[in-house]
Amino acid sequence: MEKLIEQLINGLTVGSFYALIALGYTMVYGVLSMINFAHGDIFMVGAYFGYFTITQLSNNGFSESHPVLAIIFTFLAGALGAALTGVTVERLAYRPLRKASRLATLISAIGTSIFLQEFVRLIPKFGEILASLSIAGKTIFPPSWGNAIIDVTKTFGGAMVKTYPGLLGTDGIRLGEVFISYSRILIMAIAIVFMVLLFILVRYTKLGKAMRAVSEDKDTAALMGINVNRIISSTFFIGSALAGIAGVMIGIFYLQIKPTMGFTPGIKAFTSAVVGGIGNIPGAMLGGYILGLAEVISIQFLPAVYKDTVAFAILIIMLIVKPTGILGGRDGKNKL
C-alpha cells in the first residue's frame, strides 16, 4: 500500500512535467490548429538558459548567499529564453506558412526541431569559430574577449551532458511509511501554480479573451480589431515560457540536461494534450496527470518495459471511446 502511494506520487511528479509541456502544445493547437513539433526542443532550450544562469550565479557565490533568489532567477532565465526562442521560431519558421497547409507547417516544425537540437549541440564550436574569426590576420575580438566567448559558449551547449548544481536536498517528510521529498512537493506546487495562473489568464484577462477569439475564428477576430499576429506571438511566448519552466524544473530535479532531452517528454506531452482533448487547457493538465499515473500503475502489474506500451494503449482506448479527448469539443473543433 505504501509502495502504491509512493508510486502514485512519482506518477504525479512526472505528470506535472507532462502537463506543463502539454499546455504549450495545446495552446498553439488551439490558436493555430498546428502541431508544434519543436515544442519539446524549446523546453530543452529553456533548460540550457537556466543552466547557464545557475552556473554563472554559483560561480560568483550568489547562489550560496541567496539560494531562493538564485532559483527564481534561474526560472526567469529559463522561461524568458524559451519564450523568446518560441516567438522567434514562430516568426521565422511558422508565420510564412500561416496560409499553407497544416502539413507544411508540421514539416517546418520538424525541421526546426532538428535545427534547435543540433544548434545547441554545436554552440561551443560556433564559439570557437567566432573567437578565431579574423580579418587580415588579426582576430576581430581581442584574445580576452575570444576566451570569454569560448567560455560562455562552452557552458551554454555542447554534446556532453550538462549537470545542474544540486540545489535541492534529498530531505522530505514522512507520513507514516510514505516518504515524500520536499523537491517533489515543490515541483508539483510550481506546476499547479503556473497552471492556475494560465487558466486565469486565458479565462479572465483581456489577452485571454483575445486568444480565445483568435482560436474561435481568426478572420472574425481580426475584423473585431484584434491584432492576430500579436496574439499568436503572445500564445507562443506563454506556451514556450511554460516549457522553459518545465525545462529548468527538470534540471533542478533530475540534474541532467542534454540537447536531445526534449524528444521523449515532447512526445509524451503531446500525447497528454490529445488525451485531454487538444486545444483545451484544463484537458492538457488532466491528460498530463493521467499519463503520468498510467505509467506508474502499469508497473504494478507488468514488467517496467511495458510502461510506454500501456501508456499508448490507454491513449488508443481512450480515443476510441471518446474520439476528441476527455475534455475535447463535441465536433472535434478545438477552442482554448
Residues 250-269 touching another protein, rule: CB under 8 A, are: 250, 254-256, 258, 260-261, 263-265, 267
Any contact of residue 295 with another protein (CB under 8 A)? yes
Q: Tell me the closest approach of the beta carbon of residue 205 to another protein, in angstroms.
A: 28
Cβ atoms 276, 26 nearer than 8 A? yes
CB of 226 to another protein, least distance (A): 24
Q: Is 115 in the site for another protein (CB under 8 A)?
A: yes
Cβ atoms of 25 and 35 closer than 8 Å: yes
**190, three cell numbers:** 510550481
> Count residues contacting another protein (CB under 8 A)?
82
Residue closer to another protein (CB basis): 103 or 224: 103
Report the distance separating Cα 151 and Cα 140, nearest Å: 17
Burial label for 28, CB within 10 Å (0-12, 13-18, 19+), is: buried
First to last CA, the chain: 39
Cell reading at 34 = 498546428
Cα separation, 122 vs 224, in Å, equals 45
Q: How far is it, in rounded angstroms, from Cα 274 to Cα 297? A: 20
Identified binder of another protein from the candidate list 201, 307, 329, 335, rule CB under 8 A: 307
Q: According to CB under 8 A, which one of 36, 74, 113, 215 is a site residue for another protein?
A: 113
Footprint of another protein on 227-246 (CB under 8 A): none
Stretch that binds another protein, among 50-58, 194-202, 211-219, 312-320 (CB under 8 A): 312-320
Q: Which is nearer to another protein, 147 or 256 (CB)?
A: 256
**Which of 69, 140, 160, 189: binder of another protein (CB under 8 A)?**
160
Show the cell assigned to 197.
495562473
Instruction: Pick the closer one to another protein by CB: 70 or 210.
Output: 70
Answer yes or no whether residue 6 interacts with another protein by CB under 8 A.
Answer: yes
- Alpha carbon of residue 277 to chain centroid: 18
Does 215 bind another protein (CB under 8 A)? Our answer is no
Q: Of 69, 110, 133, 189, which one interacts with another protein (CB under 8 A)?
A: 110
Would you give the DSSP letter of residue 226? -
Q: With respect to another protein, which residue has the nearer C-beta, 140 or 304?
A: 304
CB of 84 to another protein, least distance (A): 18
Distance between CA 281 and CA 119 in Å, rounded? 31
Q: What is the DSSP letter of 271?
A: H
Query: Is 26 an interacting residue with respect to another protein (CB under 8 A)?
Result: no
- Nearer residue to another protein within complex by CB, 265 or 288: 265
Contact 126, 108 (CB under 8 A): no
User: Within positions 123 to 152, which residues make up the interface with another protein, using CB under 8 A?
Assistant: 125
Is residue 188 within the footprint of another protein (CB under 8 A)? no
Helix (H/G/I), strand (E/B), else coil: 111: helix
Question: Using CA atoms in the order 54, 185, 187, 197, what is the torsion angle rounded to 10 degrees?
Answer: -120
DSSP state of 336: -
How many residues in total does the chain contain? 336
For another protein, which is the closer residue by CB, 207 or 319? 319
Q: Show contacts with another protein in window 27-46 (CB under 8 A).
A: 29, 35
DSSP for 27-45, written as a single string: HHHHHH----TTHHHHHHH
Measured from the CB atom, is 122 or 201 closer to another protein? Answer: 122
Is there binding between residue 7 and another protein (CB under 8 A)?
yes
CB of 206 to another protein, least distance (A): 30
Considering only residues 70 through 109, tell me which ones interact with another protein, judged by CB under 8 A.
92-93, 96-97, 99-108
